[in-house]
Amino acid sequence: MINYTAEAFQNGQILLVDKPLNWSSFQAVNKIKWLLKKNYGLKKIKVGHAGTLDPLATGLLIVCTGKATKQISELQGQIKEYTGTITLGGTTPSYDLETEIDQHFPTEHITPELLEEARVSFLGEIQQRPPIFSALKKDGKRLYEHARKGEEVEIPTRPITIEEFELTGQTIPNIDFRVVCSKGTYIRSLAYDFGLKLNSGAHLTALRRTKIGDYNIVNSVSLEEFEAEAEKNSIEQNQ
């Protein structure tokens, strides 16, 4: 439960926020920081998040306030659960809907058996190459900055762990999934690599983060709910 008092926010709280579509994690954090300053007269307060969500993804964003920001690195290292949709038959440079489809591939050969064979191949520790459209740095610049300039960049693979990978719906070309994975996993890369494994192409068309460690999306609040409660409690305290 969130304690909507200035003292509680300064002493440190972990807020579970349901990040909306088309918002960056940075924008969500800034909105909360602005609301705290506006409603509680806090001229200075630390606010940060424990794990970026892309603007095209929704779901659980852990936001830490005050002294709780010291826990961010620990929270970032916890395993995460996502649900979403992979669309077969086409790739995009960003591996998701941020960019347009650049290549088309056949899907007629894809059978339930082939999907299962591909699914199982991603379980356990694997090597994954992050997407070029990501915030990782190379030669002092973000990868997406290189990508937008059309620059060729060598991106090394790195080890990640897929603990669970479940295909929850198979209506080709759309494959619904649930995945539990380690820190540093790019679900966009998983979608792209899944397409390769099927001798086709694929990109991510929906993504929702549902868990981080023991923290669950069912216990989250929307930004609208947080704003309403913050303003309600501010008004009550000033009466």
Q: Name residue 15's amino acid.
A: L
Please check whether residue 204 is in contact with residue 96, taking contact to mean a CB–CB distance below 8 angstroms: yes
DSSP string, 183-204: TT--HHHHHHHHHHHTTS-EEE
| Helices 223-237 and 25-40: angle between axes, nearest 10 degrees | 10
User: Per the residue annotation, which of 54, 102, 139, 176 is the catalytic one?
Assistant: 54
Residue 210, token pair as written in the block: 């549902």
Q: How far apart are CA 197 and CA 182, in angstroms?
A: 21
Nearest to 203 by CA among 223, 188, 220: 188
- Active-site residue 54, yes or no? yes
Q: How far apart are CA 159 and CA 2, in angstroms?
A: 36
Please check whether residue 64 is in contact with residue 15, taking contact to mean a CB–CB distance below 8 angstroms: yes
Which residues, listed in sequence order, are joined to residue 211 by a DSSP beta bridge?
Answer: 81, 216
Please check whether residue 175 is in contact with residue 85, taking contact to mean a CB–CB distance below 8 angstroms: yes
- In sequence order, which residues have a C-beta less than 8 Å from that of residue 170 and are 6 or more positions away? 112, 115, 176
Q: How far apart are CA 231 and CA 37, in angstroms?
A: 11
Q: Which residues are known to be catalytic?
A: 54
